Amino acid sequence: MKVGIIGSGGREHAICESLKKSDKIEKIYCLPGNAGTSEIAENIILDLDNFKDVRNFALKKNLDLLIVGPEKPLVDGLVDYLEKFNIKVFGPNKLASQLEGSKIFTKKLCQEFNIPTAKFGIFQNKIDAKQFIKKSKFPIVIKADNLASGKGVYICNNEIETNVAIDEIFDGKFGEAKNLLVEEFLEGEEMSFFTINDGNTFKNFDTAQDHKRVLEGDKGKNTGGMGAYSPSRLINDELEKKIINKIIKPTLKGLAELGTHYKGFLYAGLMIVENEPYLIEYNVRMGDPECQTILPKLKTNLIDIIVACCDGKLNEININWSDKKSLCIVMCSKGYPDKFKKNIEIENIKKIKLSNNEYLFHAGTSIKNKKVYAISGRVLNLVSLSHDFNISRKNIIKILEKLNWLGGFYRKDIGHKVIK
């Protein structure tokens, strides 16, 4: 099979790595990919906003399958466009992708189908939002309605912080903002719950806990994710049933009533309060860095699962997992998530030696003259599998200490809630 993967992050590198394990894979293209994917795939530079260019490439190379990694092409309708030309593509269509494209779309779906979520209000301008805040209890959550790369969420403890959040969102920090969401703050612990879907059938695709805050102790600004571990320490049989029956099934039913069926990865960001799940948000793709954390545990060939989804035959596939625990630490450029320098060489990366249970996934990297450079905020993902989260974390920190990249930083406390 000839397969194309759209995206350039650690998630896409992890997907490439998982796909190459199958002898069914003849060739992998990554659009545009990064320094890591270039070792196992052919990187192709294309304007992903130009759907015609993507279509022409898929037809020219006679691709058997195209996998869409990031959210923006999905929300923009790439799947709908490619399917018009009979190109097999894995990911949800434009309507289904509104689960991530508009937080307000999802909130209204929750309201209509009794899906447990935080109480909320929708505002179209700064004045109304700020007036509402004056009568609210703190802490309170402010969210941009549109895509924000995981960073458009503010947990505010006073009126000054909320005013800053409201101003930044309506002033266009995350793109044009027509609406803003204000939510009650739920006191609990977050969990990422994944399913894979073929339009009729869905199967669980593991759990994880992300670490969004930039500083140790879960402090500082929100980021795209500083690390993760899998499985979540919170998951149990009772909770899993509640998530499926109260959140996943009603969501899929709601989409069906809107005239669409969900195909692809579905990522439910949950808050668990006394073993009760509340939906915080949906993402219409695998999480990043959760994908890098979860896929190394997968024993069933990923290509078989995805092809079955595209063909509507997921019910014929058994998905098997390693019983090992997985932990991922993200190496970031100094200054992230604010301003940081780009095109900084990662000098020692070629010297890194990994065991069979260790993985290095590139995120924001490029390669030039056989040298690897950091070009984005989140740069590298180190993953270790073992039967003990503490051992996994120690293994990764040893590797990062050997890397000794002076242009980067990382959190040393990933998994602190599960490592005693």
Whether the bond into 277 is cis, omega within 30 of 0: no
Q: Which of 328, 326, 369, 376 is nearest to 350 (CA)?
A: 369
361 has a pLDDT exceeding 90: yes
Q: What is the mean pLDDT of residues 114-124?
A: 93
pLDDT at 248: 98
| CA count, 13 A, side-chain hemisphere, 94 | 7
Of the two residues 222 and 313, the one the predictor is more confident about is 313
pLDDT at 146: 76
Domains of the chain, earliest start first: 2-95 (3.40.50.20), 119-184 (3.30.1490.20), 189-316 (3.30.470.20), 325-409 (3.90.600.10)
Could you tell me the pLDDT band of residue 358, with boundaries at 50, 70 and 90?
Answer: very high
92 has a pLDDT exceeding 70: yes
Instruction: Please state whether 209 falls in left (phi above 0), alpha (psi between -120 and 50) or beta.
Output: beta
Token representation of residue 126 = 């700064």
Q: What is the mean pLDDT of residues 209-233?
A: 95
pLDDT at 172: 86
Q: Which of 342, 330, 382, 392 is nearest to 366 (CA)?
A: 342
pLDDT at 145: 84
pLDDT at 58: 98
Q: What is the mean pLDDT of residues 305-324?
A: 98
Residues near 281 by Cβ (< 8 Å), separated by ≥ 6? Answer: 100, 103, 106, 269
Token representation of residue 76 = 């923009």
Q: What is the mean pLDDT of residues 281-292?
A: 96
pLDDT at 149: 64
310 has a pLDDT exceeding 90: yes
Q: What is the mean pLDDT of residues 30-50?
A: 97
Q: What does pLDDT average to over the chain? A: 95
Distance CA 73, CA 28 (A): 19
Could you tell me the pLDDT band of residue 147, with boundaries at 50, 70 and 90?
Answer: confident
Could you tell me the pLDDT band of residue 259, with boundaries at 50, 70 and 90?
Answer: very high
How are beta strands 42-43 and 27-32 bridged, if at all?
parallel
283 has a pLDDT exceeding 70: yes
Q: What is the mean pLDDT of residues 330-344?
A: 97
Could you tell me the pLDDT band of residue 338, with boundaries at 50, 70 and 90?
Answer: very high
Q: Which of 182, 173, 185 is nearest to 134 (CA)?
A: 182
Using H for helix, E for strand and C for coil, what is the string for 84-152?
CCCCCEECCCCCCCHHHHCHHHHHHHHHHCCCCECCEEEECCHHHHHHHHHCCCCCEEEEECCCCCCCC
pLDDT digits (tens, 9 = 90+) for 159-197: 999 999 999 999 888 887 788 889 999 999 999 999 999
pLDDT at 304: 98
Token representation of residue 379 = 């740069």
pLDDT digits (tens, 9 = 90+) for 374-383: 999 999 999 9
Distance CA 189, CA 207 (A): 13
pLDDT at 136: 84
Beta strands in 211-258 (DSSP E): 213-215, 219-222, 227-230
Q: What is the mean pLDDT of residues 135-152?
A: 82
pLDDT at 153: 85
Could you tell me the pLDDT band of residue 148, with boundaries at 50, 70 and 90?
Answer: low
pLDDT at 135: 81
Please tell me the pTM assigned to this model: 0.93
Residue 312 DSSP one-character state: T
Residue 158 carries which side chain, given as an amino acid letter?
N
Cβ burial, residue 161 (10 Å; 0-12/13-18/19+): middle
pLDDT at 62: 98
pLDDT digits (tens, 9 = 90+) for 94-115: 999 999 999 899 999 999 999 9
151 has a pLDDT exceeding 80: no
